[in-house]
């Protein structure tokens, strides 16, 4: 295997605007990071403890998580169980309409769904939905009335009614915790929140903090498993492709996380792999059923890896090839103990049910204009979100393999088809951590653009590389007389971020440095950031064509222009559609899927 030396680059400094993925270049290697306390971080990579595992049979019986307990839950009184007059909905078999309390279609459409103790919860980027009743009988179909609970407000004044002391970033994933009778919600900055369905109130389960070591953790999926120490405890497992690790957090039946665990996770399950083995780097989803199932993806090559913990610090790992289907484009994986692994392929309008023992997959096809997101399984099949509906499929009635072999690619917004990449000859980088939506924990924020570094995407990127207009449009911002932050300003901005646990819009703008913005019409805007300087001929109000030179790659806004700092030039490129960055409300894998559809997969 070709192993490239990775630059210590941006990852070395907590001040840098990105973390470059070790994972991209180091399949099969454990990336070990050490922290030179108080200064910069250093790291080394080495192969460790090569172990193999038999990749199929589940391990000895362990305590399983009961996700469908029949304990009745108190029903919140404020939720209507029936629709108001006039809000008549037509029921169709295997279809469940999602409506609000007034009978109107739920908007925005939810991204994920989970059930627990007879209740159904759905997630949007900015709210949690709780259903008033049960999902309908699949054969009958029906309607689910949802009440929405917006993201809690943020106030740093203690005990402000209904507000949390840290801000909530975009919601990205949820699970139900039967032990605590609550819903855990993960946001894109890696904070975990807890929603109590009875009190209908929010709390912070764990505020994310830089971990020590580099890069910072990036939690993109989570699952519960029994605690190895005590069956009365649960373990929350967090998938971190940046660090190539699964993090564990032991939870009691109630109460807060211990102060130590709040600071940093005491328990870490490293992913120790042999050269050539799958790893959790570039992984997108995690599930538990006696052992851990990790879904890996990049470049349309989904693979499953299996992990069996041996001790706290050693694991066996193996591979479960997905059989019966060609290349896949996975965006999510959902499962429960005893059920198949359901893999959603949003861009292929397809769901696969994968046998956990032999990897055999069967396909379920959906229409060409579907918008497949999260799903929730039961013993006979699964409900999947498609826009503001749920569709049910029985697992014993899959679609024809021949038909499923060439699924229609999901169509994209036609406005995006006008765009090209902003560096001549470059391709999409092959690492989710440089895409929009990735966490930027050093500034407690979310990445809103895509980074083009040297060597990422097959073209040279250096100080002064020309950046070109991604499409025809009008220049709406051009920082001709840009002056970068001095040290006091930079330090003030960093301390703002730490104190507020976020990057304010004003500070985000400072971090982008010298910028050009182009308005392409129809609410489509592109931004080019960290420029060394702009093309002096570019003025606000001027019309540009695709490919016109607008500026030169640099490091402005990253802090790397300060004296004595190493420079890692890259272009930060944002696409804004209808007032949101492209990737808003999507998982990392869903975001990659859209970018591949716009710019190709070469």
Binding site for Zn ion (CB under 5 A): 449, 451, 572
Taking the complex as a whole, the smallest distance from the CB of residue 578 to Zn ion amounts, in Å, to 21
Written as six digits, the tokens of 448 are 């809103």
Q: 468-482 burial, b if ≥16 CB within 10 A, otherwise e?
A: bbbbbbebeebbeeb
The nearer residue to Zn ion, 302 or 429, going by C-beta atoms, is 429
Taking the complex as a whole, the smallest distance from the CB of residue 214 to Zn ion amounts, in Å, to 17
Taking the complex as a whole, the smallest distance from the CB of residue 588 to Zn ion amounts, in Å, to 14
Taking the complex as a whole, the smallest distance from the CB of residue 508 to Zn ion amounts, in Å, to 11
The nearer residue to Zn ion, 449 or 585, going by C-beta atoms, is 449
Taking the complex as a whole, the smallest distance from the CB of residue 451 to Zn ion amounts, in Å, to 4
Contacts of 308-313 with C-beta under 8 Å, sequence gap 24+, read 308/53, 308/59, 309/228, 309/269, 310/51, 312/228, 312/267, 312/269, 313/268, 313/269, 313/270
Taking the complex as a whole, the smallest distance from the CB of residue 457 to Zn ion amounts, in Å, to 14
Instruction: Name the burial class of residue 308, with classes exposed (0-12), middle (13-18) and buried (19+) by CB atoms within 10 angstroms of its CB.
Output: middle
Taking the complex as a whole, the smallest distance from the CB of residue 450 to Zn ion amounts, in Å, to 7
Task: Return phi, psi of residue 493, to 5°.
Answer: -65, -45
Spatial distance between the Cα atoms of 144 and 91, rounded to a whole number of angstroms = 11
Which residue sits closest to Zn ion, CB atoms considered? 572
The nearer residue to Zn ion, 217 or 449, going by C-beta atoms, is 449
* Contact in structure between 432 and 19 (CB atoms under 8 Å): no
Taking the complex as a whole, the smallest distance from the CB of residue 18 to Zn ion amounts, in Å, to 5
Written as six digits, the tokens of 103 are 């009978």
* Contact in structure between 494 and 15 (CB atoms under 8 Å): yes
The nearer residue to Zn ion, 272 or 572, going by C-beta atoms, is 572
Taking the complex as a whole, the smallest distance from the CB of residue 456 to Zn ion amounts, in Å, to 12
The nearer residue to Zn ion, 222 or 581, going by C-beta atoms, is 581
The nearer residue to Zn ion, 389 or 572, going by C-beta atoms, is 572
Taking the complex as a whole, the smallest distance from the CB of residue 469 to Zn ion amounts, in Å, to 19
Interior angle at CA 122, CA 116 and CA 124, nearest 5: 150
Q: 518-546 burial, b if ≥16 CB within 10 A, otherwise e?
A: bebeeebbbbbbbbbebbeebeeeeebeb
Written as six digits, the tokens of 121 are 């919860």
**What strand order describes the sheet that includes 291-296?**
283-289, 291-296, 303-309, 315-320
Written as six digits, the tokens of 53 are 């595992």
Taking the complex as a whole, the smallest distance from the CB of residue 446 to Zn ion amounts, in Å, to 11
The strand pairing partners of 365, in sequence order, are 350
Taking the complex as a whole, the smallest distance from the CB of residue 171 to Zn ion amounts, in Å, to 22
Taking the complex as a whole, the smallest distance from the CB of residue 568 to Zn ion amounts, in Å, to 11
Residue with the two structure tokens 């025809």: 472
Spatial distance between the Cα atoms of 115 and 183, rounded to a whole number of angstroms = 10
Residue with the two structure tokens 């716009």: 598
The nearer residue to Zn ion, 451 or 479, going by C-beta atoms, is 451
The nearer residue to Zn ion, 445 or 449, going by C-beta atoms, is 449
* Contact in structure between 21 and 29 (CB atoms under 8 Å): no
The nearer residue to Zn ion, 240 or 451, going by C-beta atoms, is 451
The nearer residue to Zn ion, 176 or 528, going by C-beta atoms, is 528
Looking at residue 132, the DSSP 8-state letter turns out to be S
The nearer residue to Zn ion, 277 or 451, going by C-beta atoms, is 451
Residue with the two structure tokens 């490919």: 547
* Contact in structure between 462 and 492 (CB atoms under 8 Å): no
Contacts of 194-197 with C-beta under 8 Å, sequence gap 24+, read 195/121, 195/128, 195/149, 197/73, 197/76, 197/119, 197/121, 197/130
The nearer residue to Zn ion, 20 or 177, going by C-beta atoms, is 20
The strand pairing partners of 95, in sequence order, are 391
The nearer residue to Zn ion, 218 or 451, going by C-beta atoms, is 451
Spatial distance between the Cα atoms of 215 and 10, rounded to a whole number of angstroms = 9
- In order, the DSSP letters of 500-541 are HTS--HHHHHHHH-EEEEEE-STTEEEEEEEEEEE-TT--TT
* Contact in structure between 42 and 8 (CB atoms under 8 Å): yes
Taking the complex as a whole, the smallest distance from the CB of residue 572 to Zn ion amounts, in Å, to 4
The nearer residue to Zn ion, 187 or 451, going by C-beta atoms, is 451
Whole-angstrom CA distances from 509 to 345, 467, 479, 522, 529 are 35, 19, 12, 23, 9
Q: How many residues does the chain have?
A: 602
The nearer residue to Zn ion, 218 or 345, going by C-beta atoms, is 218
Taking the complex as a whole, the smallest distance from the CB of residue 300 to Zn ion amounts, in Å, to 24
């Amino acid at each position: 295997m070709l192993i490239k030396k990775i630059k210590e680059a941006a990852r070395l400094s907590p001040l840098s605007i990105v973390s470059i993925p070790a994972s991209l270049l180091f399949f099969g290697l454990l990336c070990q990071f050490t922290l030179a306390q108080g200064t910069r971080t250093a790291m080394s990579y080495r192969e460790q403890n090569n172990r193999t595992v038999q990749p199929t049979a589940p391990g000895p019986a362990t305590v399983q998580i009961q996700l469908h307990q029949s304990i009745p839950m108190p029903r919140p009184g404020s939720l209507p169980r029936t629709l108001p007059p006039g809000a008549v909905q037509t029921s169709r078999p295997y279809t469940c309409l999602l409506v609000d309390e007034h009978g109107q279609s739920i908007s925005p459409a939810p991204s994920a769904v989970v059930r627990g103790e007879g209740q159904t919860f759905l997630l949007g980027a900015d709210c949690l939905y709780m259903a008033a009743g049960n999902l309908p009988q699949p054969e009958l179909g029906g309607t689910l009335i949802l009440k929405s609970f917006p993201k809690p407000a943020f106030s740093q004044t203690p005990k402000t009614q209904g507000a949390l002391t840290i801000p909530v970033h975009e919601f990205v994933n949820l699970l139900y915790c039967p032990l605590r009778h609550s819903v855990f919600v993960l946001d894109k900055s890696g904070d975990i929140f807890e929603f109590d369905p009875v009190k209908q109130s929010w709390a912070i389960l764990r505020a994310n903090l830089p971990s020590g070591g580099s890069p910072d953790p990036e939690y993109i999926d989570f699952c519960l498993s029994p605690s190895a120490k005590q069956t009365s405890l649960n373990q929350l497992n967090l998938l971190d492709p940046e660090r190539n690790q699964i993090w564990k957090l032991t939870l009691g039946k109630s109460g807060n996380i211990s102060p130590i665990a709040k600071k940093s996770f005491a328990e870490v399950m490293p992913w120790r792999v042999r050269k050539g083995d799958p790893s959790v780097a570039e992984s997108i989803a995690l599930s538990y059923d006696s052992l851990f199932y990790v879904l890996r993806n990049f470049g349309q090559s989904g693979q499953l890896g299996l992990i069996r913990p041996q001790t706290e610090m050693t694991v066996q790992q193996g591979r479960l090839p997905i059989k019966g289907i060609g290349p896949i484009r996975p965006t999510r994986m959902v499962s429960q103990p005893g059920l198949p692994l359901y893999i959603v392929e949003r861009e292929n309008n397809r769901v696969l049910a994968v046998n956990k023992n032999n990897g055999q997959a069967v396909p379920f096809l959906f229409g060409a204009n579907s918008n497949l997101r999260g799903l929730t399984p039961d013993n006979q099949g699964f409900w999947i979100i498609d826009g503001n509906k749920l569709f049910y499929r029985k697992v014993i009635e899959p679609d024809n393999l021949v038909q499923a072999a060439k699924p229609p690619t999901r169509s994209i917004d036609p406005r995006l088809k006008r765009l090209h990449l902003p560096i001549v000859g470059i391709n999409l980088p092959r690492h989710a951590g440089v895409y929009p939506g990735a966490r930027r924990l050093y500034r407690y924020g979310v990445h809103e653009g895509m980074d083009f570094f040297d060597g990422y995407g097959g073209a040279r990127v250096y100080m002064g590389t020309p950046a070109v207009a991604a499409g025809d449009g009008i220049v709406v911002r051009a920082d001709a007389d840009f002056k970068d932050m001095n040290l006091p300003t930079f330090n003030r901005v960093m301390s703002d971020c730490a104190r507020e646990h976020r990057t304010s819009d004003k500070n985000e703008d400072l971090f982008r440095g010298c910028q050009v913005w182009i308005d392409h019409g129809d609410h489509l805007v592109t931004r080019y950031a960290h420029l060394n300087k702009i093309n002096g001929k570019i003025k606000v109000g001027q019309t540009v064509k695709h490919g016109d030179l607008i500026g030169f790659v640099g490091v402005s806004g990253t802090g790397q222009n300060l004296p004595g700092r190493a420079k890692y030039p890259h272009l930060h490129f944002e696409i804004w559609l209808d007032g949101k960055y492209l990737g808003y409300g999507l998982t990392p894998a869903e975001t990659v899927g859209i970018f591949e559809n716009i710019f190709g997969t070469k």
